[in-house]
Amino acid sequence: MKTVICYFSGTGNTRKVAEGFASIFTERGDEVLTVSVDGLTLCKKLPDNLIKQISDCDLFGLGYPIYAFNAPPIVLQFAKRLPRLTKNKRTFIFNSSGEPLKLNNISSLKLCGILKRRRFDVTNEYHYCMPYNIMFRHSDEMACKMWETARRLIPLDAKNMLNGEKHLLKRVRCGALIAWVMRCQQWGGQLNGRMYSVSKDCIRCGKCVNDCPSHNIRITKKGKFKFGGKCLMCMRCAHLCPRNAIRIGLFNGWKVNGPYSFIAPKTEEEKQHYNRLLTKAYEQYFAEAEQRINNEAQ
């Protein structure tokens, strides 16, 4: 079986999930192509070889982080560049988000419409809770628990999908309207992106310039940073800056800097969960996942 998995990941969480799915298919001996959509939307057309691989595959997967209860615009743009197929292609969606709220289930509404028009038939969708890359930093213990849970759920989800089971997320009432309203985050992000700046700690290593998926950052000949109007608010520049030197405009108080280690902390101090927000929702998410993992292991 041939599978193509395309994904966008601002700060690495969704990439981990994409790689998790890819490794399950590879272990089965399937042919798997995993592609980051970074840069692909800068051209009008997707590369011919990618279009061919996608058209020929048996299963197509598309993954993204949830932004304000929506799929990021770069993923929608990518979907709009997909070929119009002559027959239905089995498709699955996976997404990661910082919290387990059911409202996140509406994130794929617009994307599903775009895919449907191209005959990508979304039969399965999976959501995984992963650490926040904005707003607040999850403790290393929490981040580790989230990834551990996703890592154990992915094989179950892949197995069920390969057995032909359908799995779609339950939308909340008025989901389309809520998602539409929340899409104001996209232009808000573009406006705010122009307000990004760098502090004196910046060493001009150029990492942010090279990493930015929308090529929105440049350094002028005089060494000044220019942040354009195409910011996706993916947080990659600020999150991965080695000197924590990027200020994210009006949302600077929400900045989460530095990649998560995903390694279980050992000391009590390290285990502190800095944020008590939505504790019940997280507990429920972990309890349901644990129950499923135990049930399916029997």
The reply to whether 9 sits near ligand FMN by the rule CB under 6 A is yes
DSSP 47-76: -HHHHHHHHH-SEEEEEEE-BTTB--HHHH
Residue 96: closest CA among 196, 213, 2, 234: 234
The amino acid present at 3, given as its one-letter code, is T
Q: Please identify, using beta-carbon distances, which residue of 90 and 145 lies nearer to ligand FMN.
A: 145
Rounded Cα distance between 221 and 138, Å, is: 38
For position 65 contacting ligand FMN by CB under 6 A, the verdict is yes
* One of 51, 68, 85, 169 touching ligand FMN (CB under 6 A): 68
Tell which one of 25, 69, 120, 227 touches ligand FMN (CB under 6 A). 69
What is the DSSP code (8-state) at residue 180?
Answer: H
Tell me the C-alpha to C-alpha distance, in Å, between residue 41 and each of 12, 94, 155, 196, 213.
19, 20, 30, 23, 9
Least Å distance, CB 209 to ligand FMN, is: 19
66 binds ligand FMN (CB under 6 A): yes
Q: Indicate the residue among 79 and 130 with the shorter CB distance to ligand FMN.
A: 130
Query: CB burial class (10 A; 0-12, 13-18, 19+) of residue 47?
Result: exposed
Determine if 193 is a binding residue for ligand FMN (CB under 6 A): no
Q: Does 99 bind ligand FMN (CB under 6 A)?
A: yes
CB of 116 to ligand FMN, least distance (A): 23
Name the strand (E) or helix (H) holding 35: strand 31-36
- The pair of structure tokens assigned to 186 is 């996209």
The stretch near ligand FMN (CB under 6 A) out of 10-18, 118-126, 191-199, 268-276 is: 10-18
Per CB under 6 A, contacts with ligand FMN among 231-290 are 233-235
The whole-angstrom separation of Cα 243 and Cα 237 is 11
Question: How many residues form the binding site for ligand FMN (CB under 6 A)?
Answer: 23
The span of 6-14, 34-42, 157-165, 201-209 binding ligand FMN (CB under 6 A) equals: 6-14
Binding site for ligand FMN (CB under 6 A): 9-14, 65-69, 96-99, 104, 130, 132-134, 233-235
